[in-house]
């Protein structure tokens, strides 16, 4: 959702964006894409990023990105009020809904960051990593057993076919 919040102004407010706003949004979009990919547990990204391996650092990054998003939203509101295009008290429903959506998204981002930080401080990451390793080992074992059963089934079928061929030859 935070990624969506960063991309939406590129589409809706093309002419109103300053160079600084565009630069910050590009950075926030890159971070957002990276966060989405890292939460998908892609193995290549797990090894490449330092803050993926430490939940406390990941939590700080999430809260930081959430706070920057809040600052962006506040700066846009202040800019609109200063330009006279908006009022503190009077907002149309579209602006109100967009503001609530953006604020909710940023608070969720901050909440997730705080949760990651708390779980990291409570040393839950080591427990989670052990569970993940056990799960990966069980998956590997399951695949090996399944592969072995498939190979045995192929050998059995091949043996049955050869026995049928010999049985057919003896009758003739």
pLDDT at residue 57 above 80?
Answer: yes
How large is the average pLDDT for residues 53-74? 84
User: Cβ-count burial of 69 within 10 angstroms (0-12 exposed, 13-18 middle, 19+ buried)?
Assistant: buried
pTM for the predicted model, two decimal places: 0.64
- Region of 49 (left: φ > 0; alpha: ψ -120 to 50; beta: rest) is beta
The predicted-structure confidence for 85-136, as pLDDT tens digits, reads as follows 666 666 666 666 767 777 888 899 899 999 999 999 998 988 888 998 999 9
- Please give the pLDDT value at position 8: 67
Unique residue bearing structure tokens 């990651």: 116
- In the chain, domain spans: 2-122, 124-172
pLDDT bin (cut points 50, 70, 90) of residue 36 is confident
How large is the average pLDDT for residues 56-79? 82
Average pLDDT over the chain, rounded to an integer: 78
pLDDT bin (cut points 50, 70, 90) of residue 26 is confident
Unique residue bearing structure tokens 């803050």: 51
Q: What is the 3-state secondary structure (H, E, C) of 76-96?
A: HHHHHHHHCCCCCCCCCHHHH
Separation CA 104–CA 109 (nearest Å): 9
- Region of 92 (left: φ > 0; alpha: ψ -120 to 50; beta: rest) is beta
């Amino acid at each position: 959702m935070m990624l969506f919040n960063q991309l939406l102004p590129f589409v809706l407010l093309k002419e109103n964006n300053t160079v600084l706003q565009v630069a910050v949004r590009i950075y926030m979009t890159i971070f957002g894409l990276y966060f989405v990919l890292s939460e998908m547990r892609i193995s290549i990204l797990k090894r490449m990023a330092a803050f993926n391996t430490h939940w406390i650092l990941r939590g700080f990054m999430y809260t930081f990105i959430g706070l920057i998003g809040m600052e962006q939203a506040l700066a846009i509101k202040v800019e609109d009020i200063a330009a006279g295009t908006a009022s503190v008290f009077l907002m149309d429903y579209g602006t109100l809904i967009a503001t609530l959506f953006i604020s909710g998204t940023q608070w969720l981002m901050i909440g997730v960051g705080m949760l990651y930080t708390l779980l990291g401080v409570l040393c839950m990451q080591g427990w989670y990593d052990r569970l993940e390793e056990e799960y990966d080992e069980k998956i590997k074992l399951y695949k090996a057993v399944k592969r072995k059963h498939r190979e045995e089934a192929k050998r059995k079928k091949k043996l049955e076919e050869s026995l049928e061929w010999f049985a057919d030859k003896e009758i003739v």
